[in-house]
Each structure stands twice: as structure tokens, then as C-alpha cells.
A = this chain, B = another copy of it.
């Protein structure tokens, strides 16, 4: 449970870390920020999102809740090197997009008095950096808590509190295995498709012949190349499975087109239309 007097520490003031700082600030919390980039710290201070910040981990020594908004591997390294600054019994959380490996590696090195509750705010953007930070998007986004069987009710409750304080639209729980499987599908597979589609044609004039379809399917082809290869590799087993399944599904439709099987095509379209309706924003 997060109390109103709890101090919130955020490691990494990028797009998501900055949005978290802003969201906690808006909700009346005292936020402390760590970043190696002095400009990110200066920006967050100017906006009043953090009361104190810098590159010294000791700035988090009085925090009750610490949230890492670092890339997965950097997160594990940071904890190894700097967790000695934390006071006893704090709750640690994160924003990482893949979970099994992060949870295992963090818990393998984490102090025994500190509990890690993994969370995934599904609010990434095709931009990077604190200048794009925006916590309004949380109100239309999903928040997933990813507990292990070793997590206490207290830590899970802190996860729900983070989602509630930041005003996420839905808050749900998935096991690390379920999470990585589903994320491999709804997020990573979509990025693989967008990158591939974007790289398929060198036609410079394509933009003049384009409707919204291509624009929609490639929005996320604008991708952070320093983060995503790591996410793909950490979830390789699931992602490869989903890529292979997509390929088979495309082949079904491809064959119907080749055979000019109108009724079979219609059935796939009716099914897709019915399923898609559930995803329309209310």
C-alpha cells in the first residue's frame, strides 16, 4: 500500500520515467529522480515533477517506493551496483516490457529485505525522452501487474496503487509466463510487422499514394533501436512462435485469394470484423 506521505523514487527520466514523475507529482506525491542526463533532471525540476534529482543514487535513500524506468539489462546492473543506498523494507517496481528474465535476474541479486513487484504500463510511444512525457495517455491505457508466487499481498497492493495513482484505465494481473506470451503477440509481433512493412519498398513517392491503412500499420516502425533488440531477444521463444503463427494465418488468406475462394475470404473478414469491435475505444 502506498501512503500519501510515501516518497517516490524514479530511476531513469525518459519518456515513461518522466510520465511517471509527472503523474505522481500531479497526484500530490514527493518524487525523487535519477538520470545520468543533467538535462532530463533540469527539465523535470523546471516542471516541478521532482523535488530533487541528479545522477547520485544516494538521492533515493529516503524513498519508500522506487520504480525503475531503465531498459531491462541496465535495470539489473543498476540494482546490483546501487541497491545499498535504499532504506530497509522498500518496495521496488519497474516499467519493463518483458518480465520473466527481468524478474528472475532482479530477484537473484536483490537484497532480502526489499520486495520487487513487476509492473508493465502499456503506454509506450514511438518517441523517446522526457520532453514527450505525458501522463494523460495513462487514462486510456492498460496497466499489468506481474506478480510471482513469492510476492506478498502488500507488494501486489502497491502495484495496484501505482496503477490507480497514475489513473490507468484498466489494471489486471498476469503471471510472468502469461505476460511475456501475450506481449509477444500484442506488442512485439506488431513491431516486427511494422518494421518489415516499412522496409519492404524503396519507392520514395509512396507517400503520395498512401491512405490511412499503411500509415496506421507503420506508425510503430518509428522505433527505438537501442531498446527493442533487447526486448525481442529477452522474449525470443514467444516472439518466434507468434511470428510463425502469423505466417501460417497469412498463408490461409493468401491461398483463398489464389483460389479466388470468395466465401472463405468473407468468413475470415466477418470474423475479423466481429473480433475487432471489442477493441474500439469507448
Choose the segment among A4-12, A85-93, A222-230 that binds chain B (4+ C-beta atoms closer than 8 Å).
A222-230
Pair A272/B211 contact, Cβ less than 8 Å = no
Pair B222/A276 contact, Cβ less than 8 Å = yes
* Given A192-B254, A193-B250, A228-B265, 20 additional A-B pairs, CB 8 A: A142-B210, A182-B206, A183-B209, A186-B210, A193-B193, A199-B275, A200-B249, A212-B220, A213-B220, A214-B279, A217-B217, A221-B272, A221-B276, A222-B276, A222-B277, A223-B272, A225-B269, A232-B265, A236-B260, A240-B257
Complex: A233 Cα to B254 Cα, angstroms: 11
A241-274 contacts to B, CB under 8 A, are: 242-243, 245-247, 249-250, 252-254, 257-258, 260, 262, 265-266, 268-273
In the complex, how many residues of chain A place their beta carbon closer than 8 angstroms to a beta carbon of chain B? 87
CB-CB nearest in chain B for A195: B272
A174-230 contacts to B, CB under 8 A, are: 174, 179, 182-183, 185-187, 189-201, 203, 205-226, 228-230
Flag whether A124 is at the interface (Cβ < 8 A): yes
Pair A268/B214 contact, Cβ less than 8 Å = no
CB-CB nearest in chain B for A171: B208
What are the residues of chain B within 8 A of A226 when measuring CB–CB? 266
Flag whether A3 is at the interface (Cβ < 8 A): no
The residues of A with any CB-CB pair to B shorter than 8 Å are 122-124, 141-142, 144, 170, 172, 174, 179, 182-183, 185-187, 189-201, 203, 205-226, 228-230, 232-233, 236, 239-240, 242-243, 245-247, 249-250, 252-254, 257-258, 260, 262, 265-266, 268-273, 275-279, 281
Pair B207/A262 contact, Cβ less than 8 Å = no
Q: Which of B141, B179, B192 contacts A211 (CB 8 A)?
A: B141
* Closest chain B CB from A61 CB (angstroms): 34
Interface pairs (17), CB distance under 8 Å? A122-B209, A144-B209, A183-B209, A186-B209, A190-B197, A192-B257, A194-B217, A200-B249, A207-B279, A215-B279, A216-B219, A218-B272, A225-B270, A230-B262, A236-B258, A240-B254, A240-B257
CB-CB nearest in chain B for A235: B257
Complex: A144 Cα to B249 Cα, angstroms: 32
Pair A220/B216 contact, Cβ less than 8 Å = yes
Complex: A240 Cα to B228 Cα, angstroms: 30
Pair B279/A218 contact, Cβ less than 8 Å = yes
Pair A142/B271 contact, Cβ less than 8 Å = no
What are the residues of chain B within 8 A of A246 when measuring CB–CB? 196-197, 200, 250
